[in-house]
Amino acid sequence: MTLDEILDNIGPLDISAMEQSRKRWNSIAKPLHSLGKLEEHIIRIAGITGDAEVLIDKKALLVMCADNGVVEEGVTQTGQEVTAIVAENFLSYNTSSAIMCKKAGVDLFPVDIGMAKKTRVPDYKIAYGTKNIARGPAMTRQEAERAILTGIKLVQEKKEAGYQILATGEMGIGNTTTSSAVSSVLLGEMPERMTGRGAGLTREGMERKLGVIKRAIERNRPFAADTLDVLSKVGGFDIAGLAGVFLGGAYCRLPVVIDGFISAAAALSAYKLCPVAKEYMIAAHVSKEPGMQRILDELGMEAPLSCDMCLGEGSGAVAYLPVLDMAAEVYRKMSTFSDNKIEDYEEYDDR
């Protein structure tokens, strides 16, 4: 199927399943709505899958690994070679998110969607890194579309393998620069509002990074109303691939958890391509990167965790999965008011 055909086949949530889920929560012997956003997310998952039982036992983290030509401009503290080193470390469970995955019972799948060198990471490579956005487009429009379709394909594979929820992550030196550029254009915001220090920059480095983003936008003139144009001109293969993961979740009716700023920029891109796709996303945490909250506001979401994390790799999304697991356990196993011969709580609206 083409990308347009897939987008045309993304429909609304299952309202009947959501209502069943809401009634189940309200029947459980505890104060109404007392688990807050956790209840909302379980209800949303029921609507996504069309099943009020809500099973999220089999979980996976998809990590899109890609290099960004803009690193040539000195916008990062480390060199491009770090992308491949960390990507290889995912395979030996020797990264922060990999260790977290092991503890949380989440299967980890790193993906080479565009690294500058070959590694042992499974190869879905669109190209050997993007070009330098300060000097021209990051990629062609066709490459951007291929990256999105690759993300969709990966979700289809995981759905067929029985996975019930996906978390999103990325690895790519320079990708806070591309994420800031993409989100600035899509939201019509000044880069200053959407740009942070990434993995750690001096004041001088931060000024250089902002200047590069402004120069990239001015040189490439991405058209904000055309998301593929924006991704191809100032984005990255990791962002486009993750946008595909979010769209694939909506197409396959599989919940997908947003991680931090880069993941959120991809979620924003997916939303701009298909507005209903946001209903299939779950926000995990508010990244410390300044543009994160602005993206969540655009998506109409509130994230449950606020830990000042800005690590990436899917770490925030993985951190939230055990919390969501506990909520699902309460939802399925706790006795009801009726079981305990207690009169149901009544809902009052005193506003």
pLDDT digits (tens, 9 = 90+) for 100-125: 999 999 999 999 999 999 999 999 99
Nearest by Cα to 179 from 260, 298, 101: 260
What is the Cα–Cα distance from 57 to 40, expressed in whole angstroms?
18
Helices (H), the chain: 3-8, 15-27, 36-49, 81-91, 96-104, 141-160, 175-187, 191-194, 203-220, 227-234, 237-252, 261-273, 291-299, 315-333
Active site residue ranges: 313
- Examine residue 344 and state whether it is found in any structural domain, yes or no: no
pLDDT in tens, 264-315: 999 999 999 999 999 999 999 999 899 999 999 999 999 999 999 999 999 9
- Please, which residues bridge with residue 72 across strands? none
- Examine residue 243 and state whether it is found in any structural domain, yes or no: yes
- Examine residue 308 and state whether it is found in any structural domain, yes or no: yes
pLDDT for the residue numbered 204 = 81
Contacts of 350 (CB under 8 A, 6+ apart): none
pLDDT for the residue numbered 350 = 54
Query: DSSP string of 148-215?
Result: HHHHHHHHHHHHHTT--EEEEEEE-TTHHHHHHHHHHHHHT--HHHH---TT---HHHHHHHHHHHHH
Contacts of 204 (CB under 8 A, 6+ apart): none
Contact by Cβ (8 Å): 259, 284: yes
- Examine residue 19 and state whether it is found in any structural domain, yes or no: no
- Examine residue 23 and state whether it is found in any structural domain, yes or no: no
How many domains does the structure of the chain reveal?
1
Q: pLDDT by residue for the chain (351 residues), tens digit each?
A: 899 999 999 999 999 999 999 999 999 999 999 999 999 999 999 999 999 999 999 999 999 999 999 999 999 888 899 999 999 999 999 999 999 999 999 999 999 999 999 999 999 999 999 999 999 999 999 999 999 999 999 999 999 999 999 999 999 999 999 999 999 999 999 999 999 877 677 788 788 999 999 999 999 999 999 999 999 999 999 999 999 999 999 999 999 999 999 999 999 999 999 999 999 999 999 998 999 999 999 999 999 999 999 999 999 999 999 999 999 999 999 998 788 777 776 676 655
Tokens linked to 195: 């740009």
What is the Cα–Cα distance from 172 to 174, expressed in whole angstroms?
6
Residue 286: domain span: 59-325
Distances (CA, A) of 111 to 84, 136, 238: 11, 26, 9
Contact by Cβ (8 Å): 159, 254: yes
- Examine residue 240 and state whether it is found in any structural domain, yes or no: yes
- Examine residue 28 and state whether it is found in any structural domain, yes or no: no
What is the Cα–Cα distance from 211 to 249, expressed in whole angstroms?
35
CATH number at residue 284: 3.40.50.10210
What is the Cα–Cα distance from 107 to 62, expressed in whole angstroms?
9
| SS3 state of residue 22 | helix
- Examine residue 15 and state whether it is found in any structural domain, yes or no: no
